Amino acid sequence: MVQCVHTVKELRNILKPLKAQGKTVGLVPTMGALHPGHATLISQSSKQNDITVVSVFVNPTQFGPNEDFDAYPRTLDNDLKVVEGAGGDIVFAPSPKEMYPSEDMTWVEVTGNITKVLCGKTRPIHFRGVATVVSKLFNIVAPTKAYFGQKDAQQVEVLKRMVKDMFFDLELVVVPIAREQSGLARSSRNTYLSDEEKSQATVLCAALNLALESFKSGNNDLESIINITKQKISSSEIADIEYVECYGLPGLYELKDKIQAPSLLAVAVRFGNTRLIDNIILE
Amino acid sequence: MVQCVHTVKELRNILKPLKAQGKTVGLVPTMGALHPGHATLISQSSKQNDITVVSVFVNPTQFGPNEDFDAYPRTLDNDLKVVEGAGGDIVFAPSPKEMYPSEDMTWVEVTGNITKVLCGKTRPIHFRGVATVVSKLFNIVAPTKAYFGQKDAQQVEVLKRMVKDMFFDLELVVVPIAREQSGLARSSRNTYLSDEEKSQATVLCAALNLALESFKSGNNDLESIINITKQKISSSEIADIEYVECYGLPGLYELKDKIQAPSLLAVAVRFGNTRLIDNIILE
């Protein structure tokens, strides 16, 4: 039976005796609205750790003023079922006041190119909010391992850097993108899509795969790979491209004319009012 | 015998088995140049914990471009003796490269009035550097308790806020100001003072005590208390006042006309080229 707690104190009271027994703890930080993509993270954690904690917190500080914080789906009852089904043990669902106890915030911020490219360009405060809330969760849970989806590829790179710079004593585990049969990357924001938009959005995965094929067949020209991706996405008339960009891994370093393996090819595209992201590693 | 280590890996290798045995760990973060003020922190930690770790690191990110980073005294051999004499067990003396592994920094920053008043006005990046390096040390050592001197009163308030906001699982212990017989607050920067300056600088402690007496005898007028302090300091001809300010505790909240107990009365004053700080709690 999954236990659901809402305060740091309750959570620590549960974890303390378990840790004293030497149990390992996996943390899966989420914003709730759990779907089968999250379930793969939770079930991987549950296989690799004695205890799995899933945090469910729609973090206000990672949303910009014109973003979908209020509209973001909140489905705690269903989330508890997903966690149970995937083998999780504890859901930590705090209030914003619990996570942000002071009026003036303490921020954790990763600086440099890594937070300025891709989503960082149009979402300037997003990664500061992510780094801050994830740091808090790390300090609250002190997990052995923490699980993040490759779907949020830039988030993964930012958090890897943060873990290294701040000496968090844990292993960050990156889980591959979960996709629907159609190829559409699973996302809580897919619930915003109409049937038509959902069908059109499958072009993202198709475009990324086309680029990967081209790269694998010997095309390492940056501009050409970007163009192949853009052209394919534009074959959907309702696709409104925010970016199609490619950076070197690890750390999202700037590429010159040629793509070095491994590199991240990432896209953000609007279908109607819904902004979707997807990515693939060229290697 | 005190052990001195220079890398995070060595330190963790030593601490891991001790923690597995359930030993408590006290952390005393310092910039070295240890004096009897530091010794009181170390000996308090050694009484309250199984193991005491003293970090010795002149943290570059808390010095402004025109401050004394290069000139700051570095006396590791003597520091080891002070730590040994005070009952410390391990000295952690990392290089800047060890503590800041990436070119682009990850920062921890406490925002709001608390970092803008007092020293925050003339040292705008100082507390960001302090919060960042102390967060790293907390993550590296994961201490049971961490010890800081009341001498750096604003630092104490900033770190209390940070510990609360970021959910560091430790107790922050504040140790009273250690003073020379003359009343001069002990500081690594006192070594910069000439004999004459050192003698004149005793006016700081005298002025703070005068203000406390006045407050205790019923004077809670903010302006009057500030003026009493300033006038006494100005009785030294070489004293160059940077600030004499008073804020409410905890959190350094702004006072209106009247001083509420407890409040912090704090001063920063130059004697020659040396900037000294001192403070007293009005309660």
**One-letter amino acid identity for B42?**
I
Among A12, A108, A164, beta carbon nearest to B108: A108
Q: Which residues contact B39 (CB under 8 A, 6 or more apart)?
A: B82, B85, B86
B17/B174 Cα distance (integer angstroms): 28
* Per-residue pLDDT tens digits for A96-112: 999 999 999 999 999 99
pLDDT at residue number A263: 98
B34/B31 Cα distance (integer angstroms): 8
Which of the residues A7, A10, A110, A139 would you substitute to probe the B interface, choosing the one with the greatest number of B C-beta atoms within 10 Å?
A139
Q: Are strands B51-56 and B25-30 parallel, antiparallel or unpaired?
A: parallel
**B166 vs A100: CB contact, 8 Å cut-off?**
no
What is the number of alpha carbons within 13 Å of residue A166 lying toward its C-beta? 28
Note whether residue A168 is domain-resident: yes
Q: What is the CATH number of the domain that holds B53?
A: 3.40.50.620
pLDDT at residue number B43: 98
Judge whether A12 is closer than 8 Å to chain B, CB to CB: yes
* Per-residue pLDDT tens digits for A208-233: 999 999 999 999 999 999 999 999 99
Q: Which DSSP symbol is given to A60?
A: G
Neighbouring CB atoms inside 10 A of B132's CB total: 25
The nearest CA of chain A is from the CA of B2 a distance in Å of: 24
Give the pLDDT mean for B9-18.
Answer: 98
Q: Which residue has the tokens 């910069």?
A: B192
Within 8 A of A108 by CB-CB distance, chain B residues are: 106-108, 135, 166
Which of residues A110, A143, A175 is at a domain's end? A175
Q: Is the ipTM of this complex over 0.90?
A: yes
What average pLDDT does the structure give for chain A? 97
Same domain, A167 and A193: no
Cβ pair A90, A53 in contact under 8 A = yes
Q: Active site includes A126? A: no
Q: Which residue has the tokens 């005796």?
A: A17
Which of the residues A23, A104, A113 would you substitute to probe the B interface, choosing the one with the greatest number of B C-beta atoms within 10 Å?
A104
Judge whether A166 is closer than 8 Å to chain B, CB to CB: yes
Same domain, B92 and B221: no
The nearest CA of chain B is from the CA of A109 a distance in Å of: 5
Same domain, B129 and B98: yes
Measured CA angle at A11 (ends A165, B144), to 5 deg: 55
Give the pLDDT mean for A225-247.
Answer: 98
pLDDT higher than threshold 90 for residue A183 = yes
Among A109, A114, A139, beta carbon nearest to B109: A109
* Per-residue pLDDT tens digits for A246-267: 999 999 999 999 999 999 999 9
Within 8 A of A129 by CB-CB distance, chain B residues are: none
Same domain, B273 and B213: yes
Rg from Cα positions in chain A: 19
How far, CA to CA in Å, does A129 sit from each of A63, A120, A122, A124, A276? 8, 12, 14, 10, 19
Question: Has B35 been labeled as part of a binding site?
Answer: yes
pLDDT at residue number A224: 98
Note whether residue B127 is domain-resident: yes
The nearest CA of chain A is from the CA of B228 a distance in Å of: 32
Same domain, B117 and B212: no
Judge whether A250 is closer than 8 Å to chain B, CB to CB: no
Same domain, B124 and B151: yes
Same domain, A164 and A199: no
Same domain, B150 and B192: no
* Per-residue pLDDT tens digits for B57-106: 999 999 999 999 999 999 999 999 999 999 999 999 999 999 999 999 99
Using pLDDT thresholds of 50, 70 and 90, give the confidence band for residue A243. very high
Same domain, A155 and A264: no
pLDDT higher than threshold 90 for residue B1 = no
Same domain, B72 and B193: no
Alpha-helical (H) ranges within B142-272 are: 153-166, 195-200, 203-216, 222-234
* Per-residue pLDDT tens digits for A139-156: 999 999 999 999 999 999
Give the pLDDT mean for B20-47.
Answer: 97
The nearest CA of chain B is from the CA of A142 a distance in Å of: 9
Q: Which of residues 80-119 of B touch A (CB under 8 A)?
A: 100-114
**One-letter amino acid identity for A130?**
V
Using pLDDT thresholds of 50, 70 and 90, give the confidence band for residue B36. very high
pLDDT higher than threshold 90 for residue A1 = no
Which of the residues A57, A167, A169 would you substitute to probe the B interface, choosing the one with the greatest number of B C-beta atoms within 10 Å?
A167
Q: State whether residue B178 is helix, strand or coil.
A: coil
Cβ pair A18, A25 in contact under 8 A = yes
How far, CA to CA in Å, does B25 sit from each of A19, A187, B20, B93? 17, 43, 12, 17
* Phi, psi at B229, each rounded to 5°: -65, -50
**B108 vs A105: CB contact, 8 Å cut-off?**
no
What is the number of alpha carbons within 13 Å of residue A64 lying toward its C-beta? 11
What is the number of alpha carbons within 13 Å of residue A103 lying toward its C-beta? 5
Judge whether B167 is closer than 8 Å to chain A, CB to CB: yes
For residue B257, what are the domain limits? 188-282
Note whether residue B181 is domain-resident: no
Same domain, B17 and B157: yes
Among B106, B113, B169, beta carbon nearest to A165: B106
Cβ pair B51, B25 in contact under 8 A = yes
* Phi, psi at A246, each rounded to 5°: -140, 130
Of A11, A26, A38, A268, the active-site residue reads: A38
Judge whether A139 is closer than 8 Å to chain B, CB to CB: yes
Q: Which residues contact B151 (CB under 8 A, 6 or more apart)?
A: B37, B177, B178, B185, B186, B187, B277, B278, B279
Q: Which H or E run contains B80? A: helix B76-86
pLDDT at residue number B87: 98
Q: What is the CATH number of the domain that holds B198?
A: 3.30.1300.10
Same domain, A140 and A100: yes
Give how many domains chain B has, as a whole number.
Answer: 2
Nearest CA in chain A to B116: A104
**One-letter amino acid identity for A193?**
L
* Per-residue pLDDT tens digits for B178-226: 999 999 999 999 999 999 999 999 999 999 999 999 999 999 999 999 9
Within 8 A of A136 by CB-CB distance, chain B residues are: 165-167
Q: Which H or E run contains B8? A: helix B8-20
Judge whether A204 is closer than 8 Å to chain B, CB to CB: no
Catalytic positions of B, please?
38
Which of residues B143, B175, B207 is at a domain's end? B175
